[in-house]
Amino acid sequence: MEHSQSEARAAGTGAMQRLGSDDSSRKRFLKMAGGTAVAGAFAALLASCGGGGDEEKAEVDEAAPSTAQTGDFKILNFALMLEYLESDFYEKVVSGGMLSREALEMAKTFGEHEREHVDTLEAAVKEGGEKPVARPRTKFPLEGEEQILGLAAQVENLGAAAYLGAAGLIQSEDVLGTALSIHSIEARHAAALNIATGKEPVPFGDTGLAVPAEMDAVLRMVKPFIAT
């Protein structure tokens, strides 16, 4: 444990140092987020979603350098895409009839939270005069309670990591406030599901520090759940 503790803590501190290494780091990260790698991955993922009609899809693959505002909208749309996935996941799980009473209650409650996140994020994107990302069609391997809860834990832990990774890229205080208010709820879901599946509620060794995930990594990880 000591070994993993110092290792993971060093990783956390390293991330903090990278983020804080210069005054313009937030802008620098935004530029990266608006750059080809992430925007490209996001665009490719969205293109593979299908179903929504091309004309309805938000323009996320902008070649032009991001202003703070377009950067925040990209992040809001990224978060919205994750919430669509989570919301769909719980909808399918709840209607699938494979859960026992207790697990079903939890899935219903968490699913309702995800629906509210979707509503709030859609409204936030629209209020800024931007288009919400097209709702992806999803596919999840749901073959019994154990697998469903395991997948739910995986998705929620990823969601929490994604919000944590994106928070530092956000420019607007309001958008940041909204992201934080969702982040800790995703973390609560993740902890509850970890416990339900016999794992540690705080799966970061003894570091005491959550591990963030960057947008492109998150997009790669959710790709198997997007129906093409």
Partner 1 sequence: MTDRPLQPMDAIEVHGMTRSAFILQGALGAGALYGAGAAGPFVRRAFAQEGGDAEILNFALMLQYLEEEFYSQALELGLTGDVKKLATAFRGHEQAHIDTLTEAVTGAGATPVKKPTFEFPIEDQGSFVTLGMTLEDTGVQAFNGAGPMLTANEALAGAGMIVQVEARHAAALRLAAMEEPAPDAFEETIEMKDVLEAVEPFIQK
Nearer to partner 1, 137 or 188 (CB): 188
Asked if 176 is part of the footprint of partner 1 (rule: CB under 8 A), the reply reads yes
Using the minimum distance from each CB to partner 1, give the nearer residue, 7 or 206.
206
Q: Of the listed pieces 42-50, 60-68, 87-95, 173-181, which binds partner 1 according to CB under 8 A?
A: 173-181
CB 170 within 8 A of CB 76: no
* Nearest approach, Cβ of residue 59 and partner 1 (Å): 26
Structure tokens of 163? 């919000």
Query: 95 — phi, psi (to 5°)?
Result: -85, -10
**Nearest to partner 1 of 138, 207 (CB atom):** 207
**Binding residues for partner 1 restricted to 10-49, rule: CB under 8 A:** 12-13, 15-17, 19-21, 25-26, 29
From the list 200, 223, 227, 228, which residue makes contact with partner 1 (rule: CB under 8 A)? Answer: 200
DSSP calls for 162-215: HHHHHHTT---HHHHHHHHHHHHHHHHHHHHHHHHTTS-SS-STTS--PPP--H
- 11 exposure class (CB count in 10 Å sphere: 0-12, 13-18, 19+): middle
Residue type, 78: F
Of the candidates 59, 119, 143, 146, which one interacts with partner 1 according to CB under 8 A? 119
Residues between 43 and 102 that touch partner 1 (CB under 8 A): none
Which residue of 110, 134, 218, 225 would you call a contact of partner 1, by CB under 8 A?
110
For 83, half-sphere exposure in the C-beta direction (CA atoms, 13 angstrom radius) is: 25
